[in-house]
């Protein structure tokens, strides 16, 4: 799950900077609710096991087990990270490697146009904002020609 957190934190020190970050209480609650919702969704979809993101309780094998373990943890127990999600529905010419065609249309599904960071082939290893904007603009400009 992704939670857009409130800005917080600061950088301490001048010669040897030390970044400090503290997750806002509101965002901590949202993150735990998201963990719970994802687990419920996965079990409802037929999962036999759910990875929890909690190192001391890494797996839940039933919805009840998931609920019980999430009732016992705080956000400090979660293993969290931040990233730019890109490349999940990459566009490209090879249908074996790219779920979307070069113009951003999802293969095998009529009318689905991919115009966000997922259309990139992978993570560009730098802030992808300009790459995403350029890809979205290119996809959007070509879409009317194909849809009429």
Please compute, for residue 73, the number of CA atoms within 13 A of its CA located in the half-sphere on the CB side.
Answer: 25
Q: Please tell me whether residues 94 and 147 are part of one structural domain.
A: yes
Q: Provide the residue range defining the domain that includes 54.
A: 10-77
Strand pairing report for 59-60 and 10-12:
unpaired
Q: What is the pLDDT of residues 55-81, one digit of tens each?
A: 889 999 999 999 999 999 987 888 777
Give the chain's domain count.
2
Tell me, what's the pLDDT at 59?
Answer: 94
Residue 1 lies in a domain: no
Q: What's the pLDDT band for 3 if we cut at 50, 70, 90? A: confident
Q: What's the pLDDT band for 147 if we cut at 50, 70, 90? A: low
Q: What is the pLDDT of residues 10-43, one digit of tens each?
A: 778 877 888 887 778 888 888 889 889 999 999 9
Q: Please tell me whether residues 117 and 70 are part of one structural domain.
A: no
Q: How far apart are the first and last CA of the chain?
A: 36
Catalytic residue numbers, as ranges: 84
Tell me, what's the pLDDT at 5?
Answer: 73
Closest CA to 66 of 43, 83, 82: 43
Q: Which of 77, 100, 117 is the last residue of a domain?
A: 77
Q: Please tell me whether residues 48 and 107 are part of one structural domain.
A: no
Extract the runs of DSSP E, i.e. beta strands, from the chain: 10-12, 18-20, 50-51, 59-60
Q: From CA 65, how far away is CA 5, in angstroms rounded? A: 28
Residue 30 lies in a domain: yes
pTM score of the predicted model = 0.54
């Amino acid at each position: 799950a992704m939670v857009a957190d409130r800005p917080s934190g600061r950088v301490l020190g001048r010669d040897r900077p030390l970044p400090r970050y503290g997750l806002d209480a509101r965002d901590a609650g949202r993150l735990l609710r998201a963990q719970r919702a994802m687990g419920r969704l996965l079990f409802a979809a037929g999962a036999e096991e759910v990875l929890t993101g909690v190192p001391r309780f890494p797996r839940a094998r039933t919805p009840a087990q998931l609920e019980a373990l999430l009732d016992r943890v705080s956000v400090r127990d979660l293993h969290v990270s931040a990233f730019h999600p890109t490349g999940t529905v990459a566009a490209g010419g090879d249908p074996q490697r790219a779920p979307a065609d070069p113009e951003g249309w999802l293969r095998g599904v009529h009318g689905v146009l991919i115009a966000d960071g997922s259309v990139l082939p992978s993570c560009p290893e730098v802030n992808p904002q300009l790459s995403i904007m350029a890809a979205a603009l290119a996809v959007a400009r070509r879409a009317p020609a194909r849809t009429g």
